[in-house]
Structure 1
Amino acid sequence: MTSVFATGSVADAIPLIILDPAGFDRWQEDASAEDRGMADLQKFTGALGDRALLQDGGRLRAVLIGWGEAKRRARGRFPLAAHRAHLPEASYRIAETPEDFDTLQEVTGWCLAGYSFTRYAGRPANAALLHCPKGVDAARITAMVDGITLTQDLINTPANDLGPAGLEQAVADLAERHGAALRVIRGDDLLSQHFPMIHTVGRAAAEAPRLLDLTWGDATAPKVTLVGKGVCFDTGGLNLKPGASMGLMKKDMGGAANALGLAHMIMALGLPVRLRLLIPAVENAIGAGAFRPGDILQSRKGLTVEINNTDAEGRLVLADALALADEETPDLMLCMATLTGAARVALGPDVPPFFTDQEGLAQDLAQAATAQADPLWRLPFWDPYEPMIEPGIADLDNAPAGGMAGAITAALFLRRFVENARSFAHFDLYGWTPVAKPGRAKGGAAQGIRAMLAVIEEGRWHET
């Protein structure tokens, strides 16, 4: 595990002095006239976003960071991280903070701000590295940042370099790194081993569909299963997407990428669980073998599904994977998918909804989302909408007419394939940051997985 923190002498690191307006007033009382003059010249008041470089003969000696008021900070995340790109490349340490400074969150944000995607062009991010403060678990933050970086890199990679085979390689690399076992079922073997919907969705593509099945940990430990949607590109199939809607469809494997990132965190930290990661990896393409509107598909679970829109394919491949996962009665099963536009209409790109019937798990996820600055918001498995996914001609409808409650009906569809898991939650992710923000580069996004990690570490899902 490569550390994301500065090494060497902490004493030689440049101090970051983080001040709100009241703290700045107190600082001025003891500061030298020269330092007060430099702060004044740079218009530093302690307001959120203020920054002043204190120099001595051209050498950077300290940095003042404005912390501002709580109501302004509530409008964003990781305010400290906003300064990283504007500082010279050097080693820094946190020297002074206000009372309401959340060290763990802000250090995490600073480390996340070091990400840049440079596979094809561009330059690495500014190497302004922070020494890990006392009392902060450096290994845990490093594992989280590594997992998030993996997630971002996978989503940012276009489908010509990350199709089903490329996603398989990414899982194989992760398995090798952590000593995990990997089983892969490809092509027509999906039919003989009873994964008909994964096969049907991916059979028209140049690269064969496949199911990636990674396992790690003590077989007797509590079972944690992650299921991630791995649609490496989504044309919409015969219900072809318009060009504007297809432009970002390299991110339609964002659920798989987030599941991979979380799996890395779990294994890197050696959590006492038996981990299983299931990814149906396909491309929803157009060709002679493409499935059609009006087709009725068999599923692994035995339920039949009427296809009313081939662009609602993610729930089909997830259904077979969820059915497999459910067969071994996991203690906790988490499903991640870039599933519906309805979720984005409801909550926007920053706040993914999640669905669960377990009240304790819902409370734990909500609390962890706040504590980790990794937002999630619960939407209901609304039972009165169940008839909307029952077409009559088959057991289930993959795309109910009318477009109402699209995120909920998709979640209800998935829930039909989960009966045995002791705790289950589904996350409808966007997987993309449209505009760069502190600690969050534009492009592929990890969403909710730091909160999920905290819940898995806490372990109450296993006790209930």
Structure 2
Amino acid sequence: MTPLPEFAAPFSASLPLWLVRPGADGPALPEGLAASDRTWALAQGFAGTAGQLCLLPGEGGVIAGALFGIGPQADPASRPARERYSLAKAAETLPEGDWHLANAPEGFDPQLGALGWLFAQYRFTRYKQGKTPAARLVCPEGVDADRVLALAAGEYLARDLINTPASDMGPADLEQAARALAARHGARISVIEGQDLLAQNFPMIHAVGRAGAQAPRLIDLRFPGEGPMLTLVGKGVCFDTGGLDIKPPSSMGLMKKDMGGAANVLGLAETLARLGLTAGMRLRVLIPAVENSIAGNAFRPGDILTSRKGLTVEINNTDAEGRLVLADALALAAEEKPAVLISMATLTGAARVALGPDLPPFFCDDDGTATAVQRAGRDNADPIWRMPFWEPYESMIEPVIADLDNAPGGGFAGAITAALFLRRFAGEDATYLHFDIYGWQPVAAPGRTKGGTGQGMRAILNALPEILK
């Protein structure tokens, strides 16, 4: 696992970092700034635009501090800022040393700033050495350092798991990552593998994964705690060839990330456990871990599979496999009647067409829960967007010769029909939410290196006090 970042010691000989917004008549330089530094900044053309850095000189040519532009104040409720982590660019561009925030302009969230700083420290160096930003931040006054570090730990875990290629992150490796998490936090783990999936009635997990180089399995973690039950289900397709409906190379290149749902639920569990929140709930994490591969025993287009719930499913595309493995896991979860049941999956290209890679949709029938989760995402720089379980489309997932169709034709409403399919297995006792995430940052941005990324974790975490009752 990538080493976790640290804050600088609060009593270190840190340098001041002044945060500046642009103004109508030039940068809104803070009042505490020395006159010579003001003159220097203006002479350098410093304007306070987002990401702009101006180092301040001291006696003898040393650096005495820096000005950093965080851009104009934005109201996330009406118009989110173009960069969600305004301070992250400073972490990436400041010279080595310890820095403290010398001011906090109106509208600046120091906790979010500190989190973005830690996210900017992430580099995936398992296979190639890379230079980690060397500027360290003194945790800003009033910021809960333990909470921010726990959030970073969950994000780092999710990124590491997604970034690791299938050669080192097959179903058995994903199981080991889950076992390591369980060992860190005293959780119980059980795994059902291979033919035992059939014996214990997980036929669709077995069907999808039986052609893989590693045996399919269902990973089940339970964390010690008392209170309402929260069950997280994450899609763990460690590589997806598309099966016999094989993907073209252009679509297969990123399929190491098809276990992004599993990575995100494990990352969320890591954060919950580090914060001690698992003690106040009964947290369960279920991960169906498979490879969707091609072999003589691969499941075929036209096959009819009988699910754990007893519903039959006609296979009209073997590349719509994620909903199949999730269905068996959701059916198991529903048998225990949790208070809240959440699935996370890199499920449909339709979601990316609708909202792009940076804004994952989620589905929820309960308006109060949906509002709480979307608000938590907005307030914590974890954007998500609600889409409907649109009842009139139910007929699209009902074929002629089976109860359900795993890949209805026509090309319309792919994200919605996939969510409707999953809802059939989630039961009626739990508040159910489904997140159709991308799990990948296609272009590097401040605080978000190119590669695997967490999506929806902080939205869920910060909404839990309201929705888990």
Tell me which of 363, 383, 386 is aligned to 1:375.
Answer: 383
Instruction: Report the TM-score when normalising by structure 2.
Output: 0.95
1:68 aligned residue: 71
Q: Is the CA contact (8 Å cut-off) linking 1:330 and 1:420 kept in structure 2?
A: no
AA aligned opposite 1:462: L
Q: 3-state DSSP class of the match of 1:70?
A: coil
2:96 aligned residue: 89
Q: 3-state DSSP class of the match of 2:213?
A: coil
**Alignment deviations for residues 149-185 of structure 1 (CA, whole Å, 9 cap, x no partner):** 0000000000011100100000000000111000000
CA distance in structure 1 between the partners assigned to 2:329 and 2:31 by the alignment: 64
1:269 aligned residue: 275
1:39 aligned residue: 41
Gaps of 5+ in 1: none
Q: 3-state DSSP class of the match of 1:301?
A: coil
CA distance in structure 2 between the partners assigned to 1:144 and 1:356 by the alignment: 24
**Alignment deviations for residues 312-368 of structure 1 (CA, whole Å, 9 cap, x no partner):** 000000000000000000011110000000000000000000001111110001110
**Alignment deviations for residues 115-164 of structure 1 (CA, whole Å, 9 cap, x no partner):** 01000003142121111112211111111101100000000000011100
Tell me: CA distance 1:30–1:102, structure 2 relative to 1, closer, same or farther (3 Å): closer
Q: Is the CA contact (8 Å cut-off) linking 1:315 and 1:410 kept in structure 2?
A: yes
Tell me: CA distance 1:448–1:216, structure 2 relative to 1, closer, same or farther (3 Å): same
Query: Aligned ranges for residues 44-443 of structure 1 at < 5 Å?
Result: 44-56=46-58, 57-70=60-73, 74-218=81-225, 220-271=226-277, 272-443=280-451
For residue 378 of structure 1, report the CA deviation from its aligned partner. Answer: 0.2
For residue 29 of structure 1, report the CA deviation from its aligned partner. Answer: 7.1
Tell me: CA distance 1:202–1:28, structure 2 relative to 1, closer, same or farther (3 Å): closer
CA distance in structure 1 between the partners assigned to 2:12 and 2:196 by the alignment: 60
Residue identity (%)? 58
AA aligned opposite 1:139: D
CA distance in structure 2 between the partners assigned to 1:263 and 1:296 by the alignment: 35
**Alignment deviations for residues 66-122 of structure 1 (CA, whole Å, 9 cap, x no partner):** 133235972221121112111111111111121111112111111111101000003
Q: Is the CA contact (8 Å cut-off) linking 2:151 and 2:271 kept in structure 1?
A: yes
CA distance in structure 2 between the partners assigned to 1:32 and 1:325 by the alignment: 61
**Alignment deviations for residues 284-319 of structure 1 (CA, whole Å, 9 cap, x no partner):** 000011000000001000000000000000000000
2:460 aligned residue: 452
Q: 3-state DSSP class of the match of 2:87?
A: helix
Gaps of 5+ in 2: none
Q: Is the CA contact (8 Å cut-off) linking 1:73 and 1:79 kept in structure 2?
A: no
Q: Is the CA contact (8 Å cut-off) linking 1:333 and 1:421 kept in structure 2?
A: no
AA aligned opposite 1:174: L
For residue 226 of structure 1, report the CA deviation from its aligned partner. Answer: 0.4
Q: Is the CA contact (8 Å cut-off) linking 1:10 and 1:93 kept in structure 2?
A: no
**Alignment deviations for residues 268-288 of structure 1 (CA, whole Å, 9 cap, x no partner):** 111111110000000000001
Farther off after superposition, 424-433 or 128-137: 128-137
For residue 453 of structure 1, report the CA deviation from its aligned partner. Answer: 0.7
Q: Is the CA contact (8 Å cut-off) linking 1:42 and 1:51 kept in structure 2?
A: no
Q: Is the CA contact (8 Å cut-off) linking 2:4 and 2:152 kept in structure 1?
A: no
Q: Is the CA contact (8 Å cut-off) linking 1:5 and 1:132 kept in structure 2?
A: no
AA aligned opposite 2:146: A
- Cα RMSD between the aligned structures? 1.8
Q: Is the CA contact (8 Å cut-off) linking 2:87 and 2:116 kept in structure 1?
A: yes
Q: 3-state DSSP class of the match of 2:430?
A: coil
Tell me: CA distance 1:303–1:20, structure 2 relative to 1, closer, same or farther (3 Å): same
How many residues are aligned here?
460
Tell me: CA distance 1:309–1:66, structure 2 relative to 1, closer, same or farther (3 Å): same
CA distance in structure 2 between the partners assigned to 1:275 and 1:358 by the alignment: 21
2:467 aligned residue: 461
Farther off after superposition, 46-55 or 359-368: 46-55
**Alignment deviations for residues 209-264 of structure 1 (CA, whole Å, 9 cap, x no partner):** 0000000022x421111000000000000000000000000000000000100011
Q: Is the CA contact (8 Å cut-off) linking 1:203 and 1:209 kept in structure 2?
A: yes
CA distance in structure 1 between the partners assigned to 2:219 and 2:34 by the alignment: 62
For residue 58 of structure 1, report the CA deviation from its aligned partner. Answer: 2.5
CA distance in structure 1 between the partners assigned to 2:96 and 2:28 by the alignment: 29
